[in-house]
Amino acid sequence: MNRNMYETPFNTRYSSKEMIELFSPDKKFRTWRALWIALAEAEKELGLDITDEQIEELKRHKDDINYDVAEQKEKEFRHDVMAHVHAYGEQCPKARGIIHLGATSCYVGDNTDIIIMKEALEILKVKILKVIKNLSDFALKYKSLPTLGFTHFQPAQPVTVGKRACLWIQDLLIDLEDLNYVLKNMKLLGSKGTTGTQASFLELFDGDYEKVKKLDMLIAKKMGFDSVYPVSGQTYTRKQDSRILNVLSGIAQSAYKFSNDIRLLQHMKEIEEPFEKKQIGSSAMAYKRNPMRCERISSLARYVIVNVLNPAITASTQWLERTLDDSANRRIVISESFLAVDAILNLYINVTSGLVVYPKVIEKHLMDELPFMATENILMEAVKKGKDRQEIHERIRVHSMEAAKKVKEEGKPNDLIERILNDKAIGIDSEELQALLNPEKFIGCAPEQVDDFINNHVNPLLEQLENGDLKALDVEIKV
Protein backbone atom coordinates (compact mmCIF):
# COMPACT_ATOMS: atom_id res chain seq x y z
CA MET A 1 0.00 0.00 0.00
CA ASN A 2 1.29 3.46 -0.92
CA ARG A 3 0.23 5.55 2.06
CA ASN A 4 1.00 8.78 0.22
CA MET A 5 -1.57 8.12 -2.51
CA TYR A 6 -5.36 7.75 -2.38
CA GLU A 7 -6.61 4.19 -2.82
CA THR A 8 -10.23 3.22 -3.10
CA PRO A 9 -11.50 1.55 0.10
CA PHE A 10 -13.04 -1.13 -2.08
CA ASN A 11 -9.53 -2.41 -2.79
CA THR A 12 -8.08 -2.03 0.67
CA ARG A 13 -11.06 -2.84 2.90
CA TYR A 14 -14.22 -4.12 1.30
CA SER A 15 -14.28 -6.04 -1.97
CA SER A 16 -13.13 -9.56 -2.86
CA LYS A 17 -9.96 -10.37 -4.76
CA GLU A 18 -11.91 -11.89 -7.66
CA MET A 19 -14.05 -8.80 -8.17
CA ILE A 20 -11.12 -6.39 -7.80
CA GLU A 21 -9.16 -8.36 -10.41
CA LEU A 22 -12.16 -8.48 -12.75
CA PHE A 23 -12.28 -4.68 -12.90
CA SER A 24 -8.51 -4.30 -13.07
CA PRO A 25 -6.72 -2.60 -15.98
CA ASP A 26 -4.99 -5.90 -16.79
CA LYS A 27 -8.32 -7.70 -17.25
CA LYS A 28 -9.55 -4.88 -19.47
CA PHE A 29 -6.50 -4.79 -21.71
CA ARG A 30 -6.27 -8.58 -22.01
CA THR A 31 -9.94 -8.55 -23.08
CA TRP A 32 -9.13 -5.89 -25.68
CA ARG A 33 -6.55 -8.25 -27.14
CA ALA A 34 -9.00 -11.17 -27.07
CA LEU A 35 -11.45 -9.00 -29.02
CA TRP A 36 -8.81 -8.06 -31.58
CA ILE A 37 -8.03 -11.76 -32.05
CA ALA A 38 -11.74 -12.57 -32.44
CA LEU A 39 -12.08 -9.78 -35.00
CA ALA A 40 -9.10 -11.01 -37.00
CA GLU A 41 -10.28 -14.63 -36.90
CA ALA A 42 -13.80 -13.68 -38.00
CA GLU A 43 -12.53 -11.46 -40.80
CA LYS A 44 -10.24 -14.27 -42.01
CA GLU A 45 -13.11 -16.79 -41.93
CA LEU A 46 -15.16 -14.42 -44.06
CA GLY A 47 -12.47 -14.14 -46.70
CA LEU A 48 -10.17 -11.24 -45.82
CA ASP A 49 -6.46 -11.62 -46.48
CA ILE A 50 -5.39 -12.54 -42.96
CA THR A 51 -3.09 -15.48 -42.34
CA ASP A 52 -2.99 -18.16 -39.67
CA GLU A 53 0.55 -17.02 -38.90
CA GLN A 54 -0.68 -13.50 -38.08
CA ILE A 55 -3.41 -14.84 -35.81
CA GLU A 56 -1.01 -17.19 -34.03
CA GLU A 57 1.32 -14.26 -33.43
CA LEU A 58 -1.54 -12.29 -31.89
CA LYS A 59 -2.44 -15.23 -29.65
CA ARG A 60 1.14 -15.68 -28.45
CA HIS A 61 1.19 -12.17 -27.04
CA LYS A 62 -2.37 -11.94 -25.81
CA ASP A 63 -1.48 -11.93 -22.12
CA ASP A 64 2.08 -10.56 -21.98
CA ILE A 65 1.11 -6.94 -22.44
CA ASN A 66 3.98 -4.49 -22.91
CA TYR A 67 2.55 -1.84 -20.60
CA ASP A 68 5.65 0.37 -20.71
CA VAL A 69 5.21 0.83 -24.46
CA ALA A 70 1.46 1.37 -24.16
CA GLU A 71 1.90 4.02 -21.48
CA GLN A 72 4.51 5.86 -23.56
CA LYS A 73 2.31 5.73 -26.65
CA GLU A 74 -0.68 7.09 -24.71
CA LYS A 75 1.37 10.11 -23.66
CA GLU A 76 2.10 10.72 -27.35
CA PHE A 77 -1.34 10.00 -28.81
CA ARG A 78 -3.64 10.99 -25.91
CA HIS A 79 -5.68 7.99 -26.99
CA ASP A 80 -5.69 4.79 -24.93
CA VAL A 81 -6.98 2.42 -27.61
CA MET A 82 -4.51 3.52 -30.28
CA ALA A 83 -1.71 3.35 -27.71
CA HIS A 84 -2.50 -0.31 -27.14
CA VAL A 85 -2.94 -1.00 -30.86
CA HIS A 86 0.60 0.24 -31.44
CA ALA A 87 1.99 -1.56 -28.39
CA TYR A 88 0.42 -4.84 -29.57
CA GLY A 89 1.78 -4.17 -33.05
CA GLU A 90 5.33 -3.84 -31.74
CA GLN A 91 5.05 -7.32 -30.24
CA CYS A 92 3.35 -8.71 -33.36
CA PRO A 93 5.13 -7.19 -36.39
CA LYS A 94 3.60 -9.67 -38.84
CA ALA A 95 0.07 -8.96 -37.63
CA ARG A 96 0.55 -5.26 -37.02
CA GLY A 97 -1.29 -4.18 -40.15
CA ILE A 98 -4.48 -6.16 -39.40
CA ILE A 99 -4.94 -5.29 -35.71
CA HIS A 100 -8.22 -3.35 -35.15
CA LEU A 101 -9.05 -3.67 -38.86
CA GLY A 102 -12.26 -1.75 -39.62
CA ALA A 103 -13.00 -1.14 -35.95
CA THR A 104 -13.52 1.94 -33.83
CA SER A 105 -12.46 2.39 -30.20
CA CYS A 106 -15.87 1.33 -28.91
CA TYR A 107 -15.35 -2.08 -30.49
CA VAL A 108 -12.90 -2.93 -27.74
CA GLY A 109 -14.12 -0.48 -25.10
CA ASP A 110 -17.84 -1.22 -25.12
CA ASN A 111 -17.59 -4.94 -25.81
CA THR A 112 -15.08 -5.29 -22.97
CA ASP A 113 -17.38 -3.47 -20.58
CA ILE A 114 -20.22 -5.85 -21.41
CA ILE A 115 -18.01 -8.94 -21.08
CA ILE A 116 -16.71 -7.82 -17.68
CA MET A 117 -20.16 -6.88 -16.40
CA LYS A 118 -21.50 -10.28 -17.42
CA GLU A 119 -18.70 -12.05 -15.54
CA ALA A 120 -19.30 -9.79 -12.54
CA LEU A 121 -23.01 -10.64 -12.50
CA GLU A 122 -22.12 -14.34 -12.53
CA ILE A 123 -19.95 -13.81 -9.43
CA LEU A 124 -22.76 -11.93 -7.67
CA LYS A 125 -25.26 -14.64 -8.62
CA VAL A 126 -23.23 -17.28 -6.81
CA LYS A 127 -22.94 -15.09 -3.74
CA ILE A 128 -26.68 -14.39 -3.66
CA LEU A 129 -27.32 -18.13 -3.78
CA LYS A 130 -24.91 -18.61 -0.90
CA VAL A 131 -26.78 -16.02 1.19
CA ILE A 132 -30.08 -17.71 0.33
CA LYS A 133 -28.63 -21.06 1.40
CA ASN A 134 -27.50 -19.62 4.74
CA LEU A 135 -30.86 -17.98 5.35
CA SER A 136 -32.86 -21.06 4.33
CA ASP A 137 -30.91 -23.19 6.84
CA PHE A 138 -31.59 -20.55 9.47
CA ALA A 139 -35.28 -20.35 8.57
CA LEU A 140 -35.77 -24.10 8.85
CA LYS A 141 -33.91 -24.26 12.17
CA TYR A 142 -36.10 -21.58 13.73
CA LYS A 143 -39.32 -22.11 11.77
CA SER A 144 -41.33 -22.83 14.93
CA LEU A 145 -39.68 -20.43 17.39
CA PRO A 146 -42.37 -17.85 18.23
CA THR A 147 -41.23 -14.24 18.34
CA LEU A 148 -42.99 -10.95 18.72
CA GLY A 149 -44.04 -9.50 15.39
CA PHE A 150 -43.79 -5.78 14.76
CA THR A 151 -45.70 -3.33 12.64
CA HIS A 152 -44.51 0.30 12.82
CA PHE A 153 -41.93 -1.18 15.23
CA GLN A 154 -44.79 -1.58 17.68
CA PRO A 155 -45.64 -5.02 19.13
CA ALA A 156 -47.97 -6.97 16.86
CA GLN A 157 -49.21 -10.52 16.39
CA PRO A 158 -46.43 -13.10 16.89
CA VAL A 159 -44.57 -14.63 13.98
CA THR A 160 -41.63 -17.04 14.09
CA VAL A 161 -37.94 -16.32 13.74
CA GLY A 162 -37.81 -18.61 10.70
CA LYS A 163 -40.81 -17.00 9.02
CA ARG A 164 -39.18 -13.57 9.36
CA ALA A 165 -36.05 -14.94 7.66
CA CYS A 166 -38.21 -16.02 4.73
CA LEU A 167 -39.04 -12.36 4.11
CA TRP A 168 -35.33 -11.67 3.64
CA ILE A 169 -35.00 -14.65 1.31
CA GLN A 170 -37.99 -13.62 -0.79
CA ASP A 171 -36.42 -10.22 -1.53
CA LEU A 172 -33.27 -11.98 -2.72
CA LEU A 173 -35.32 -14.29 -4.95
CA ILE A 174 -36.71 -11.22 -6.68
CA ASP A 175 -33.17 -9.91 -7.15
CA LEU A 176 -32.05 -13.27 -8.50
CA GLU A 177 -34.94 -13.31 -10.95
CA ASP A 178 -34.00 -9.83 -12.19
CA LEU A 179 -30.32 -10.75 -12.40
CA ASN A 180 -31.04 -13.90 -14.40
CA TYR A 181 -33.26 -11.95 -16.79
CA VAL A 182 -30.55 -9.36 -17.38
CA LEU A 183 -27.87 -12.03 -17.82
CA LYS A 184 -30.02 -13.86 -20.34
CA ASN A 185 -30.64 -10.69 -22.33
CA MET A 186 -27.18 -9.12 -22.31
CA LYS A 187 -25.90 -8.39 -25.81
CA LEU A 188 -22.55 -7.38 -27.21
CA LEU A 189 -22.16 -4.21 -29.24
CA GLY A 190 -20.46 -6.32 -31.89
CA SER A 191 -18.66 -4.62 -34.80
CA LYS A 192 -20.75 -1.58 -35.70
CA GLY A 193 -18.24 1.05 -36.76
CA THR A 194 -18.05 4.77 -36.02
CA THR A 195 -21.75 5.63 -36.14
CA GLY A 196 -23.29 2.17 -36.13
CA THR A 197 -23.68 1.89 -39.91
CA GLN A 198 -20.87 -0.70 -40.30
CA ALA A 199 -19.65 1.34 -43.29
CA SER A 200 -15.99 0.40 -42.77
CA PHE A 201 -16.84 -3.32 -42.71
CA LEU A 202 -19.07 -3.01 -45.77
CA GLU A 203 -16.06 -1.50 -47.53
CA LEU A 204 -13.77 -4.32 -46.34
CA PHE A 205 -16.17 -6.94 -47.68
CA ASP A 206 -16.72 -5.17 -51.01
CA GLY A 207 -20.35 -4.35 -50.32
CA ASP A 208 -21.35 -7.84 -49.12
CA TYR A 209 -23.92 -7.02 -46.42
CA GLU A 210 -24.41 -10.68 -45.50
CA LYS A 211 -20.75 -10.98 -44.54
CA VAL A 212 -21.03 -7.82 -42.48
CA LYS A 213 -23.90 -9.37 -40.54
CA LYS A 214 -22.04 -12.66 -40.15
CA LEU A 215 -19.01 -10.80 -38.78
CA ASP A 216 -21.13 -9.43 -35.94
CA MET A 217 -22.38 -12.87 -34.94
CA LEU A 218 -19.03 -14.63 -35.35
CA ILE A 219 -17.42 -12.19 -32.93
CA ALA A 220 -20.27 -12.62 -30.46
CA LYS A 221 -19.95 -16.43 -30.52
CA LYS A 222 -16.20 -16.27 -30.07
CA MET A 223 -16.66 -14.07 -27.01
CA GLY A 224 -19.37 -16.28 -25.49
CA PHE A 225 -22.50 -14.35 -26.46
CA ASP A 226 -25.55 -15.42 -28.41
CA SER A 227 -26.52 -12.03 -29.76
CA VAL A 228 -25.50 -8.46 -30.48
CA TYR A 229 -27.54 -5.28 -30.50
CA PRO A 230 -29.14 -5.21 -33.96
CA VAL A 231 -28.71 -1.44 -34.21
CA SER A 232 -26.52 1.04 -32.39
CA GLY A 233 -24.80 4.36 -32.63
CA GLN A 234 -21.10 4.27 -32.03
CA THR A 235 -21.80 2.74 -28.60
CA TYR A 236 -24.26 0.18 -27.36
CA THR A 237 -27.30 1.84 -25.83
CA ARG A 238 -26.52 3.11 -22.35
CA LYS A 239 -29.91 1.76 -21.30
CA GLN A 240 -28.07 -1.52 -20.78
CA ASP A 241 -25.89 0.06 -18.06
CA SER A 242 -28.97 1.52 -16.41
CA ARG A 243 -30.73 -1.85 -16.47
CA ILE A 244 -27.72 -3.62 -14.95
CA LEU A 245 -27.20 -1.08 -12.17
CA ASN A 246 -30.90 -1.29 -11.33
CA VAL A 247 -30.25 -4.97 -10.56
CA LEU A 248 -27.34 -3.96 -8.34
CA SER A 249 -29.54 -1.42 -6.59
CA GLY A 250 -32.17 -4.11 -5.97
CA ILE A 251 -29.59 -6.35 -4.30
CA ALA A 252 -28.45 -3.42 -2.19
CA GLN A 253 -32.04 -2.67 -1.17
CA SER A 254 -32.60 -6.26 -0.02
CA ALA A 255 -29.37 -6.34 1.95
CA TYR A 256 -30.17 -2.95 3.48
CA LYS A 257 -33.54 -4.22 4.71
CA PHE A 258 -31.89 -7.29 6.27
CA SER A 259 -29.15 -5.27 7.92
CA ASN A 260 -31.62 -2.81 9.40
CA ASP A 261 -33.73 -5.65 10.80
CA ILE A 262 -30.69 -7.25 12.44
CA ARG A 263 -29.61 -3.90 13.88
CA LEU A 264 -33.04 -3.51 15.48
CA LEU A 265 -33.05 -7.09 16.76
CA GLN A 266 -29.52 -6.71 18.12
CA HIS A 267 -30.65 -3.62 20.03
CA MET A 268 -33.35 -5.81 21.57
CA LYS A 269 -30.74 -8.53 22.33
CA GLU A 270 -32.80 -11.12 20.42
CA ILE A 271 -30.49 -11.83 17.47
CA GLU A 272 -26.92 -10.68 16.95
CA GLU A 273 -24.47 -10.67 14.10
CA PRO A 274 -21.25 -12.66 14.72
CA PHE A 275 -18.84 -11.11 17.22
CA GLU A 276 -15.31 -12.46 17.25
CA LYS A 277 -13.39 -13.38 20.38
CA LYS A 278 -11.02 -10.39 20.32
CA GLN A 279 -13.32 -7.98 18.49
CA ILE A 280 -13.67 -4.54 20.09
CA GLY A 281 -17.09 -2.92 19.98
CA SER A 282 -16.08 0.53 21.17
CA SER A 283 -12.79 2.24 21.98
CA ALA A 284 -14.41 3.80 25.06
CA MET A 285 -17.23 1.46 26.09
CA ALA A 286 -15.62 -1.94 26.53
CA TYR A 287 -18.93 -3.77 27.02
CA LYS A 288 -20.38 -2.87 23.63
CA ARG A 289 -21.19 -5.30 20.82
CA ASN A 290 -22.02 -2.98 17.95
CA PRO A 291 -23.60 -4.45 14.79
CA MET A 292 -20.73 -3.06 12.73
CA ARG A 293 -21.02 -5.50 9.82
CA CYS A 294 -24.71 -4.82 9.33
CA GLU A 295 -24.01 -1.11 9.68
CA ARG A 296 -21.44 -1.45 6.90
CA ILE A 297 -23.98 -3.27 4.72
CA SER A 298 -26.37 -0.35 5.28
CA SER A 299 -23.68 2.17 4.49
CA LEU A 300 -22.50 0.53 1.27
CA ALA A 301 -26.08 -0.18 0.17
CA ARG A 302 -26.92 3.49 0.46
CA TYR A 303 -23.97 4.26 -1.83
CA VAL A 304 -25.17 1.81 -4.49
CA ILE A 305 -28.79 2.95 -4.36
CA VAL A 306 -27.73 6.56 -4.94
CA ASN A 307 -25.19 5.55 -7.60
CA VAL A 308 -27.88 4.07 -9.84
CA LEU A 309 -28.92 7.60 -10.80
CA ASN A 310 -25.70 8.04 -12.78
CA PRO A 311 -26.38 5.53 -15.59
CA ALA A 312 -29.99 6.68 -15.73
CA ILE A 313 -28.84 10.25 -16.40
CA THR A 314 -26.15 9.06 -18.80
CA ALA A 315 -28.63 7.00 -20.82
CA SER A 316 -31.05 9.89 -21.08
CA THR A 317 -28.49 12.55 -22.10
CA GLN A 318 -26.49 10.81 -24.85
CA TRP A 319 -26.49 12.96 -27.99
CA LEU A 320 -27.48 11.34 -31.26
CA GLU A 321 -24.95 8.62 -32.20
CA ARG A 322 -22.36 9.31 -29.48
CA THR A 323 -21.01 11.80 -26.95
CA LEU A 324 -18.06 11.31 -24.63
CA ASP A 325 -19.61 12.77 -21.49
CA ASP A 326 -20.44 9.20 -20.46
CA SER A 327 -16.87 7.91 -20.40
CA ALA A 328 -15.34 9.24 -17.18
CA ASN A 329 -18.62 8.74 -15.33
CA ARG A 330 -19.02 5.11 -16.45
CA ARG A 331 -15.37 4.34 -15.70
CA ILE A 332 -16.06 5.08 -12.02
CA VAL A 333 -19.73 4.27 -11.53
CA ILE A 334 -19.95 0.81 -13.09
CA SER A 335 -16.84 -0.66 -11.49
CA GLU A 336 -17.43 0.83 -8.05
CA SER A 337 -21.09 -0.21 -7.98
CA PHE A 338 -20.08 -3.81 -8.68
CA LEU A 339 -17.29 -3.63 -6.09
CA ALA A 340 -19.74 -2.24 -3.54
CA VAL A 341 -22.37 -4.93 -4.12
CA ASP A 342 -19.65 -7.56 -3.98
CA ALA A 343 -18.61 -6.17 -0.59
CA ILE A 344 -22.24 -6.11 0.58
CA LEU A 345 -22.77 -9.75 -0.35
CA ASN A 346 -19.49 -10.79 1.29
CA LEU A 347 -20.75 -9.21 4.50
CA TYR A 348 -24.21 -10.71 4.03
CA ILE A 349 -22.67 -14.18 3.67
CA ASN A 350 -20.50 -13.63 6.72
CA VAL A 351 -23.31 -12.40 8.94
CA THR A 352 -25.79 -15.10 7.92
CA SER A 353 -23.14 -17.77 8.49
CA GLY A 354 -23.06 -16.98 12.19
CA LEU A 355 -26.25 -15.30 13.41
CA VAL A 356 -26.64 -15.71 17.17
CA VAL A 357 -30.18 -16.24 18.48
CA TYR A 358 -31.22 -15.75 22.11
CA PRO A 359 -34.47 -17.74 22.61
CA LYS A 360 -34.89 -16.76 26.28
CA VAL A 361 -34.81 -13.06 25.48
CA ILE A 362 -37.20 -13.61 22.57
CA GLU A 363 -39.55 -15.51 24.87
CA LYS A 364 -39.41 -12.79 27.54
CA HIS A 365 -40.28 -10.04 25.08
CA LEU A 366 -43.08 -12.15 23.66
CA MET A 367 -44.56 -12.99 27.06
CA ASP A 368 -44.39 -9.33 28.12
CA GLU A 369 -46.82 -8.47 25.31
CA LEU A 370 -48.75 -11.70 24.81
CA PRO A 371 -51.27 -11.06 27.61
CA PHE A 372 -52.62 -8.06 25.71
CA MET A 373 -52.88 -10.09 22.50
CA ALA A 374 -54.58 -12.97 24.31
CA THR A 375 -57.44 -10.87 25.65
CA GLU A 376 -59.78 -11.79 22.78
CA ASN A 377 -59.14 -15.51 23.41
CA ILE A 378 -59.73 -14.95 27.13
CA LEU A 379 -62.97 -13.16 26.37
CA MET A 380 -64.18 -16.05 24.20
CA GLU A 381 -63.28 -18.60 26.88
CA ALA A 382 -65.25 -16.67 29.51
CA VAL A 383 -68.30 -16.48 27.23
CA LYS A 384 -68.09 -20.26 26.73
CA LYS A 385 -68.45 -20.53 30.51
CA GLY A 386 -71.72 -18.60 30.37
CA LYS A 387 -70.42 -15.10 31.13
CA ASP A 388 -71.90 -11.94 29.62
CA ARG A 389 -69.75 -10.88 26.68
CA GLN A 390 -70.15 -7.11 27.17
CA GLU A 391 -69.48 -7.25 30.88
CA ILE A 392 -66.34 -9.36 30.49
CA HIS A 393 -65.13 -7.14 27.64
CA GLU A 394 -65.37 -4.09 29.88
CA ARG A 395 -63.60 -5.79 32.79
CA ILE A 396 -60.74 -6.93 30.52
CA ARG A 397 -60.52 -3.44 28.99
CA VAL A 398 -60.14 -1.84 32.42
CA HIS A 399 -57.55 -4.41 33.51
CA SER A 400 -55.62 -3.88 30.27
CA MET A 401 -55.52 -0.10 30.70
CA GLU A 402 -54.31 -0.45 34.28
CA ALA A 403 -51.64 -3.01 33.33
CA ALA A 404 -50.42 -0.80 30.49
CA LYS A 405 -50.24 2.16 32.90
CA LYS A 406 -48.07 0.11 35.28
CA VAL A 407 -45.70 -0.79 32.44
CA LYS A 408 -45.44 2.63 30.83
CA GLU A 409 -45.71 5.03 33.77
CA GLU A 410 -44.20 3.03 36.62
CA GLY A 411 -41.79 0.78 34.69
CA LYS A 412 -43.22 -2.31 36.35
CA PRO A 413 -43.83 -5.75 34.77
CA ASN A 414 -47.03 -6.45 32.90
CA ASP A 415 -49.46 -7.77 35.57
CA LEU A 416 -52.49 -8.24 33.30
CA ILE A 417 -52.47 -12.00 33.83
CA GLU A 418 -52.54 -11.65 37.62
CA ARG A 419 -55.36 -9.12 37.36
CA ILE A 420 -57.45 -11.47 35.21
CA LEU A 421 -56.74 -14.47 37.46
CA ASN A 422 -57.80 -12.48 40.53
CA ASP A 423 -61.04 -11.27 38.93
CA LYS A 424 -63.61 -13.88 39.94
CA ALA A 425 -66.19 -12.31 37.64
CA ILE A 426 -64.11 -13.43 34.64
CA GLY A 427 -63.80 -16.93 36.09
CA ILE A 428 -60.62 -18.21 34.37
CA ASP A 429 -58.23 -20.38 36.41
CA SER A 430 -54.45 -20.54 36.10
CA GLU A 431 -54.31 -23.77 34.09
CA GLU A 432 -56.88 -22.52 31.59
CA LEU A 433 -55.08 -19.21 31.27
CA GLN A 434 -51.68 -20.81 30.65
CA ALA A 435 -53.20 -22.89 27.87
CA LEU A 436 -54.61 -19.74 26.31
CA LEU A 437 -51.21 -18.05 26.56
CA ASN A 438 -49.31 -20.77 24.71
CA PRO A 439 -47.32 -18.77 22.09
CA GLU A 440 -47.76 -21.52 19.50
CA LYS A 441 -51.48 -20.70 19.40
CA PHE A 442 -50.66 -17.26 18.02
CA ILE A 443 -48.24 -17.99 15.15
CA GLY A 444 -50.81 -19.17 12.65
CA CYS A 445 -49.36 -21.08 9.69
CA ALA A 446 -45.84 -19.68 10.09
CA PRO A 447 -44.01 -23.06 10.45
CA GLU A 448 -45.91 -24.55 7.53
CA GLN A 449 -45.28 -21.43 5.45
CA VAL A 450 -41.55 -21.81 6.04
CA ASP A 451 -41.58 -25.45 4.92
CA ASP A 452 -43.65 -24.71 1.84
CA PHE A 453 -41.58 -21.68 0.88
CA ILE A 454 -38.22 -23.41 1.26
CA ASN A 455 -39.33 -26.64 -0.44
CA ASN A 456 -41.21 -25.12 -3.34
CA HIS A 457 -39.43 -21.84 -4.03
CA VAL A 458 -35.93 -22.01 -2.56
CA ASN A 459 -34.66 -25.59 -2.82
CA PRO A 460 -35.11 -25.79 -6.61
CA LEU A 461 -32.72 -22.84 -6.92
CA LEU A 462 -30.32 -24.17 -4.32
CA GLU A 463 -29.76 -27.31 -6.37
CA GLN A 464 -27.18 -25.14 -8.14
CA LEU A 465 -25.20 -25.18 -4.91
CA GLU A 466 -24.50 -28.87 -5.35
CA ASN A 467 -21.66 -27.77 -7.58
CA GLY A 468 -18.42 -28.26 -5.65
CA ASP A 469 -17.14 -24.74 -6.33
CA LEU A 470 -20.29 -23.27 -4.86
CA LYS A 471 -20.15 -25.50 -1.81
CA ALA A 472 -16.63 -24.34 -1.16
CA LEU A 473 -17.50 -20.65 -1.53
CA ASP A 474 -16.07 -18.73 1.37
CA VAL A 475 -15.52 -15.04 1.86
CA GLU A 476 -12.96 -13.09 3.80
CA ILE A 477 -13.98 -9.96 5.67
CA LYS A 478 -10.86 -7.83 5.83
CA VAL A 479 -11.91 -5.57 8.70
Q: Angle, to 10 degrees, between the axis of helix 292-307 and the axis of helix 327-352? A: 150
> Which among 86, 105, 136, 152 is annotated as catalytic?
152
Catalytic annotation on 227? no
Rounded to an integer, what distance in angstroms lies between the CA atom of residue 293 and that of residue 275?
Answer: 10
Give me the sign of the Cα torsion angle 188, 190, 193, 197: negative
Cβ partners under 8 Å of residue 54, min gap 6: 40, 92, 94, 95, 98
Catalytic residue among 24, 191, 242, 282: 282
* Residue 84 annotated in active site: no
Question: Amino acid letter at 129?
Answer: L
Q: Would you please indicate which residues are annotated as catalytic (active-site) residues? A: 152, 282
